[in-house]
């Protein structure tokens, strides 16, 4: 059971116990005098359980919130290439965010989030700040299969990815938004694959 599902279950259980206790106290009259303490205890317990569930729901939602900077770069809403040419301050700020919020091993082309991070509602496993496959751009690996990622990406961007291909053991989709801005979706052509790349392709560097 996921954290969010457990949280909802706790809220539901708390409400159920509270309703049961209130119903019994309201309807049993004299015969329940000996049970009042037990039923009141149940009502208090339900309040604690419900409060814990509500707290965990809030924590789960906060933990699962999308990182908008990463998401905007991965979906071509922003471009570090544009920042490099027109806004060095923003580029430097992003570089500092990478260093502080991600771990990185020397010579690896990717960064690993130090805490829970999502893009289009999906958990991020790796961030490739300078590349999309063999091209120049920005991309992330999310822990979800190709079809689930495609649906999530189309829902979040409001754009359908119609240009899709299967070949060389890979599934790909792309959508050109403008010069040096093409959304790319890529995953291994394998039903068991659980990782998909979302990225913004700029250009191919020979």
- In a structure prediction context, what are the per-residue pLDDT tens digits for the chain, which is 206 residues long? 444 444 445 445 544 545 444 555 455 555 555 555 554 554 455 455 454 444 444 444 344 567 899 999 999 999 999 999 999 999 999 999 999 999 999 999 999 999 999 999 999 999 999 999 889 999 999 999 999 999 999 999 999 999 999 999 999 999 999 999 999 999 999 999 999 999 999 999 87
Co-location of 32 and 72 in the same domain: no
Co-location of 79 and 163 in the same domain: yes
Co-location of 167 and 191 in the same domain: yes
**Distance, CA of 114 to CA of 91 (rounded, Å):** 20
Co-location of 193 and 96 in the same domain: yes
Co-location of 166 and 102 in the same domain: yes
Co-location of 170 and 116 in the same domain: yes
The whole domain housing 16 covers 3-63
Co-location of 23 and 116 in the same domain: no
**Distance, CA of 98 to CA of 96 (rounded, Å):** 5
**Distance, CA of 78 to CA of 101 (rounded, Å):** 19
Give the chain's domain count: 2
Co-location of 34 and 134 in the same domain: no
Co-location of 170 and 183 in the same domain: yes
Co-location of 133 and 111 in the same domain: yes
Of 63, 80, 100, the last residue of a domain is 63
Co-location of 117 and 159 in the same domain: yes
Co-location of 77 and 58 in the same domain: no
């Amino acid at each position: 059971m996921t954290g969010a599902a457990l949280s909802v279950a706790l809220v539901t259980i708390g409400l159920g116990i509270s309703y049961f206790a209130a119903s019994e106290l309201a309807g049993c009259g004299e015969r329940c005098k000996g049970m009042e303490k037990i039923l009141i205890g149940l009502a208090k317990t339900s309040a604690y359980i419900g409060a814990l569930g509500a707290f965990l729901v809030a924590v789960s939602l906060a933990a699962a919130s999308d990182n908008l900077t990463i998401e905007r770069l991965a979906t071509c809403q922003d471009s570090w290439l544009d920042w490099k040419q027109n806004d060095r301050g923003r580029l430097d700020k992003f570089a500092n965010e990478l260093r502080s919020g991600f771990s990185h091993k020397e010579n690896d082309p990717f960064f690993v989030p130090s805490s829970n991070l999502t893009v289009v509602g999906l958990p991020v496993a790796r961030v490739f700040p300078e590349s999309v496959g063999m091209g120049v751009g920005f991309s992330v690996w999310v822990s979800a299969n190709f079809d689930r990622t495609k649906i999530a990406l189309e829902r979040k961007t409001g754009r359908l990815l119609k240009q899709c291909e299967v070949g060389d053991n890979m599934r790909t989709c792309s959508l050109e938004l403008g010069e040096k801005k093409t959304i790319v979706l890529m995953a291994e052509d394998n039903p068991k694959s659980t990782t998909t790349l979302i990225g913004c392709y700029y250009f191919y560097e020979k």
